[in-house]
């Protein structure tokens, strides 16, 4: 374990404080964060080089879902480097993706995962040995990471808590989006987001479907919300299942029921009584 | 040194280009910057306004570039289309030392190398 050979980490109150401590000690490790969504933060020589979380598409998702590289080519790269320590170099070496392009994707996935992780308070975290991961960048300081995350939250926030709520909300296309000519005047990427907004998908689901970042999808959704083209999907059955009331409605007058008592089946007669009070 | 920094460094060898930055056109995230890049964050907002307003006004095609000229500088923002969200190459061009046409030609040449 790395823990035994290095000086112990001070007790960190939160993940940002832990990252600053790791930067001071120039550690190489992986911080496993548990919670919803949870994830892993990869630190090399004190700088953050990659983050993975189920809350946002990672480098692999961005490469594959956007169609930049095919599944077969990706499998071949993974098979060629079973330790997964040189995946980035292998991708560039095979000419599947340019070095600059991979650097852009690696950084955008890192900041996007940081943004996704910031939307929920983690349950706990653990510092482990470095886990090999796909990245190609020189590393980012915790200060820059936090600065960018708060810039993103401020950019989206209308009121406190609204960013996390927006990330969780299922959205559907508003009826205004069906008016001819409206959608056609949107930039192509807004049209793509609109096409995947179906009432079941959240911002995260749309990001995974399109192979784009969570934050960039949320920026587009915020604009579409402001223009009234999408709206939160609130199914009518959300409050409680539609069952019959279990108590008699108080409006029913008991005296009226007494006067016409329930029809009684008489022995020897199989048909229903001729007179039914509710007919 | 990162390949993006190296590519921006080559762009800055052009006389008159005093700073360059590579930004994400949607998120505004800076992937690399070199030299005088004080206006790069604003360039991203300006490009977004131009893109949305132009499409709303019915302009066909995608945004290519935005050039803001002051008495001493050109702030050139070139949109680099790619698979996925586009990027912006923002450059500060000294009006005293070069002309816009030449700067644009050089920046476009270096833009092709950026993502290679």
- Give domain status of residue A261, yes or no: no
The pLDDT score that the predictor gives to residue A1 is 44
Contact with chain B for residue A187, Cβ under 8 A = yes
Q: A213 and A128 in one domain?
A: no
- What three-state secondary structure class fits A266? coil
* DSSP assignment string, A7-74: PPPPPPSSHHHHHHHHHHTT--EEEEEESSS-EEEEEETTEEEEEE-TTS--HHHHHHHTTSS-HHHH
* CATH number of the domain within which B60 lies: 3.30.450.30
Q: A139 and A198 in one domain?
A: no
Residues of A in contact with B26 (CB under 8 A): 189, 213, 216, 219-220
The pLDDT score that the predictor gives to residue A2 is 45
The pLDDT score that the predictor gives to residue A260 is 60
Contact with chain A for residue B116, Cβ under 8 A = yes
- Give domain status of residue A270, yes or no: no
Domain holding A214, by residue range, is 162-232
Contact of A276 with A262, CB cutoff 8 Å: no
- Give domain status of residue A54, yes or no: yes
Contact with chain B for residue A188, Cβ under 8 A = yes
Contact with chain A for residue B61, Cβ under 8 A = no
Q: A25 and A122 in one domain?
A: yes
Q: Is A104 close to B115, i.e. CB distance below 8 A?
A: yes
Query: What are residue A251's phi and psi, to 5 degrees?
Result: -70, -20
Q: A12 and A127 in one domain?
A: yes
- Give domain status of residue A248, yes or no: no
- Which of B11, B25, B27, B49 to substitute to test the interface with A, most A CBs within 10 Å? B27
Q: A142 and A52 in one domain?
A: yes
How many contacts (CB atoms, under 8 Å) link A and B?
A: 70
The pLDDT score that the predictor gives to residue B37 is 86
DSSP bridge partners of B33: B21
Domain holding B38, by residue range, is 3-114
Q: A36 and A129 in one domain?
A: yes
| Domain end marker among A210, A232, A254 | A232
Q: A167 and A78 in one domain?
A: no
Query: How many domains, in total, are found in chain A?
Result: 2
Q: A44 and A16 in one domain?
A: yes
* CATH number of the domain within which A181 lies: 1.10.10
Q: A184 and A150 in one domain?
A: no
The pLDDT score that the predictor gives to residue A205 is 93
Outline where A94-187 has alpha helix (H). Answer: 99-118, 142-156, 162-168
Stronger pLDDT, B106 or A254, i.e. the higher one: B106
Q: Is the pLDDT of residue B17 over 90?
A: yes
Contact with chain B for residue A29, Cβ under 8 A = no
Q: A196 and A115 in one domain?
A: no
Contact with chain B for residue A227, Cβ under 8 A = no
The pLDDT score that the predictor gives to residue A244 is 59
| Domain end marker among A128, A156, A184 | A156
Q: Is B84 close to A137, i.e. CB distance below 8 A?
A: no
Q: What is the DSSP letter of A240?
A: S
Query: What are residue A239's phi and psi, to 5 degrees?
Result: -65, -55
A residues 41..80 contacting B (CB < 8 A): 62, 66-68
Q: What is the ipTM of this complex?
A: 0.92
Q: Is B85 close to A216, i.e. CB distance below 8 A?
A: yes
* pTM for the full predicted model: 0.83
Contact with chain A for residue B55, Cβ under 8 A = yes
The pLDDT score that the predictor gives to residue A276 is 54
DSSP bridge partners of B78: B65, B89
Residue numbers in chain A where pLDDT is lower than 50: 1-4, 256
- Give domain status of residue A61, yes or no: yes
Q: A142 and A25 in one domain?
A: yes
Reported as a single tens digit per residue, the pLDDT across B44-70 is 888 888 888 887 787 877 889 999 999
| Domain end marker among A114, A135, A156 | A156
Query: How many domains, in total, are found in chain B?
Result: 1
Query: What are residue A173's phi and psi, to 5 degrees?
Result: -70, 135
């Amino acid at each position: 374990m790395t823990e035994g050979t290095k000086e112990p980490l001070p007790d960190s109150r939160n993940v940002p404080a832990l990252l600053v401590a790791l930067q001071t000690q120039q550690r190489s490790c992986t911080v496993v964060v548990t919670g919803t969504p949870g994830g892993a933060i990869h630190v090399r020589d004190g700088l953050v080089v990659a983050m993975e979380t189920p809350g946002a598409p990672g480098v692999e998702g961005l490469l594959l879902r956007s169609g930049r590289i095919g599944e077969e080519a990706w499998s071949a790269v993974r098979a060629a480097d079973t330790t997964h320590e040189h995946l980035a170099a292998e991708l560039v070496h095979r000419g599947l993706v340019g070095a600059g392009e991979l650097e852009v994707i690696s950084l955008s996935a890192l900041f996007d995962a940081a943004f996704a992780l910031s939307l929920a308070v983690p349950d706990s975290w653990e510092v482990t040995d470095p886990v090999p991961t796909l990245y190609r960048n020189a590393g980012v300081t915790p200060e820059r990471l936090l600065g960018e995350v708060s810039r993103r939250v401020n950019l989206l926030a209308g009121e406190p808590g609204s960013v996390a709520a927006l990330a969780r909300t299922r959205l559907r296309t508003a009826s205004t989006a069906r008016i001819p000519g409206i959608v056609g005047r949107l930039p192509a990427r807004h049209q793509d987001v609109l096409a995947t907004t179906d009432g079941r998908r959240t911002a995260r689901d749309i990001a995974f479907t399109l192979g784009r970042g969570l934050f960039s999808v949320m920026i587009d959704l915020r604009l579409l919300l402001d223009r009234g083209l999408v709206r939160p999907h609130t199914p009518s059955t959300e409050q409680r299942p539609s069952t019959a009331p279990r108590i008699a409605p108080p409006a029913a007058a008991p005296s009226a029921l007494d006067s016409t008592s329930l029809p009684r089946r008489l022995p020897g007669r199989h048909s229903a009584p001729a007179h039914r009070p509710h007919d | 040194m990162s390949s993006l920094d190296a590519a921006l460094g080559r762009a800055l060898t052009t006389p008159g280009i005093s700073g360059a930055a590579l930004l994400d056109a949607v998120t505004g995230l800076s992937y690399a910057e070199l030299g005088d890049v004080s206006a790069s964050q604003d360039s991203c907002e300006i490009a977004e306004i131009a893109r949305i307003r132009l499409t709303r006004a019915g302009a066909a095609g995608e945004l290519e570039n935005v050039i803001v000229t002051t008495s001493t500088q050109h702030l050139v923002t070139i949109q680099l289309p790619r698979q996925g969200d586009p990027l912006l190459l923002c450059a500060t061009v000294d009006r005293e030392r070069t002309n816009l046409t030449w700067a644009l030609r050089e920046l476009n040449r270096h833009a092709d190398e950026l993502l290679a």
